[in-house]
C-alpha cells in the first residue's frame, strides 16, 4: 500500500520551477509578438503619411502648372492630410520656382515628422516654359 502512495506523489503535477520556466517562455513569446505589432503599426503609419504627402505634393504641382506664369511665386503652407490650411496640420508643403531663361523648374516638397523620429520629405520637380 505504501508503494502505491509513493508513486502518486511523483506524478502529482507541476512544481514551481516548471511553472516559472513555462511562464518565462510564454512572456518572451508574447513580448516578441508585441514588438512585431508595434513595428508593424509604425510602418503602417509611415506608409500612410508618405502616401498622403505624395498626393499633397502632386496636387500642388498640378496647381502650379496651371496658373499664369506671372503669378508664380515661392511659398509655403501648413496643411492637413486633405490639403486644407491648418496651423496644427502634420504636413508642411513648400514650393520654389527657379527660372533659367524661359525655362522654369518647379519644385514642391512636403515634409512631416513621424512620431518624434527624424523628419521625412517627399519632393517632386518638373519644368515649365515661360
What residue spans define the domains of the chain? Answer: 2-129
- What ranges in 1-113 are assigned the alpha helix state H? 2-10, 16-66
pTM: 0.73
Rounded to whole angstroms, the Cα distance separating 44 from 22 reads: 33
Question: What is the pLDDT, as a whole number, of residue 8?
Answer: 56
Rounded to whole angstroms, the Cα distance separating 20 from 99 reads: 72
Question: What is the pLDDT, as a whole number, of residue 76?
Answer: 96
Question: What is the pLDDT, as a whole number, of residue 116?
Answer: 73
- The residue whose grid cell reads 498622403 is 52
Residue 55 sits at the vertex; the CA angle it makes with 49 and 57, to the nearest 5 degrees, is 100
- From the number of C-beta atoms within 10 Å of its C-beta (0-12, 13-18, 19+), residue 31 rates as exposed
Question: What is the pLDDT, as a whole number, of residue 77?
Answer: 97
**Per-residue model confidence as pLDDT tens digits over 7-36:** 555 666 778 888 899 999 999 999 999 999
**Per-residue model confidence as pLDDT tens digits over 73-114:** 999 999 999 999 999 999 999 999 999 988 999 999 999 998
> What percent helix, strand, coil does the chain show, rounded to 5?
50, 30, 20
Query: Among 2-11, 23-32, 51-60, 111-120, where is mean pLDDT lowest?
Result: 2-11
Amino acid at each position: 500500500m505504501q508503494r502505491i502512495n509513493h508513486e502518486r506523489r511523483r506524478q502529482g503535477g507541476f512544481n514551481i520551477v516548471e511553472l516559472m520556466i513555462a511562464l518565462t517562455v510564454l512572456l518572451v513569446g508574447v513580448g516578441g509578438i508585441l514588438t512585431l505589432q508595434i513595428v508593424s503599426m509604425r510602418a503602417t503609419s509611415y506608409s500612410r503619411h508618405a502616401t498622403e504627402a505624395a498626393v499633397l505634393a502632386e496636387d500642388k504641382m498640378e496647381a502650379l502648372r496651371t496658373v499664369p506664369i506671372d503669378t508664380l511665386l515661392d511659398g509655403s503652407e501648413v496643411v492637413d492630410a486633405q490639403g486644407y490650411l491648418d496651423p496644427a496640420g502634420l504636413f508642411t508643403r513648400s514650393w520654389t520656382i527657379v527660372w533659367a531663361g524661359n525655362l522654369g523648374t518647379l519644385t514642391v516638397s512636403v515634409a512631416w515628422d513621424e512620431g518624434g523620429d527624424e523628419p521625412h520629405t517627399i519632393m517632386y520637380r518638373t519644368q515649365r516654359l515661360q
